[in-house]
Structure 1
Amino acid sequence: MKFCRFNKDRIGVVQGELIHDVTSLFDRQLSWPTAAGDAIIAQLAAVHASGIDLAKMPVVPLADVRLESPVANPNKIIGAPVNYHAHIAEANADAEINSGRTYTTLEAYGLFLKANSSLIGPADDISLAFADRRTDHEVELVVVIGKTARHVSRDDAFGYIAGYTVGLDMTVRGAEVPSYRKSPDGYCVLGPWLVTPDEIKNPDKLGLSLTVNGETRQSANTDLLILGVARLIEYASAIYTLYPGDIIMTGTPAGVGPVEAGDLIDATVEQVGSLRIRVIPARPTVQGASA
Structure 2
Amino acid sequence: MKLALFNDYQLGVVSEDRIYDVGAWVDWRAERPQESLVRLMAAYDQVSSRLQGFAEAPSQPLAQVRLRPPVPAPSKIVAAPVNYYRHQDEMNRQFNNAEHTIEKLGFFLKAPSSIIGPGDAVQLPRADRRFDHEAELAFVVGRRARHVSAADAHKYIFAYFALMDITMRGIEDRPMRKSFDTFTPIGPWLVTADEVENPHELGLRLWVNDDLRQDANTSDLIYDSYQFFALASSVMTLEPGDILTTGTPEGVGPIHPGDTVRIEIERIGEFSVGVEAEQSQQR
Instruction: Quote the Cα distance in structure 1 between the aligned partners of 2:47 and 2:265.
Output: 22
Partner of 2:67: 67
On the 8 A contact 2:125/2:280 being kept in 1, the answer is no
Partner of 1:20: 20
Partner of 1:93: 93
Between the two proteins, the alignment pairs up a number of residues equal to: 278
In structure 1, the residue corresponding to 2:145 is in which secondary structure?
A: coil
On the 8 A contact 2:125/2:281 being kept in 1, the answer is no
Report the Cα offset of residue 47 of structure 1: 5.6
On the 8 A contact 1:42/1:245 being kept in 2, the answer is no
Structure 1: which 4+ aligned runs deviate by more than 6 Å? none
On the 8 A contact 1:42/1:244 being kept in 2, the answer is no
Q: Deviations over 1:203-246 (max 9, x none)?
A: 01100010111111100000000000110110011111111111
Aligned CA RMSD, in angstroms, stands at: 1.8
Q: CA 1:91/1:38 → structure 2, altered by over 3 Å: closer, same or farther?
A: farther
Q: Where in structure 2 are the equivalents of 1:252-263 lying within 5 Å?
A: 252-263=248-259
On the 8 A contact 1:38/1:244 being kept in 2, the answer is no
5+ residue gaps, structure 1:
none
Q: Where in structure 2 are the equivalents of 1:1-291 lying within 5 Å?
A: 1-28=1-28, 38-44=35-41, 45-46=44-45, 48-52=47-51, 53-95=53-95, 101-284=97-280
Report the Cα offset of residue 48 of structure 1: 4.7
Report the Cα offset of residue 50 of structure 1: 3.7
Q: CA 1:8/1:47 → structure 2, altered by over 3 Å: closer, same or farther?
A: farther
The structure carrying a bigger helix percent of its residues is: 2
Q: Deviations over 1:270-290 (max 9, x none)?
A: 100001111111221599xxx
Instruction: Quote the Cα distance in structure 2 between the aligned partners of 1:59 and 1:47.
Output: 23
TM-score by length of 1: 0.91
Report the Cα offset of residue 73 of structure 1: 1.7
In structure 2, the residue corresponding to 1:216 is in which secondary structure?
A: strand
Instruction: Quote the Cα distance in structure 2 between the aligned partners of 1:159 and 1:172.
Output: 35
On the 8 A contact 1:38/1:72 being kept in 2, the answer is no
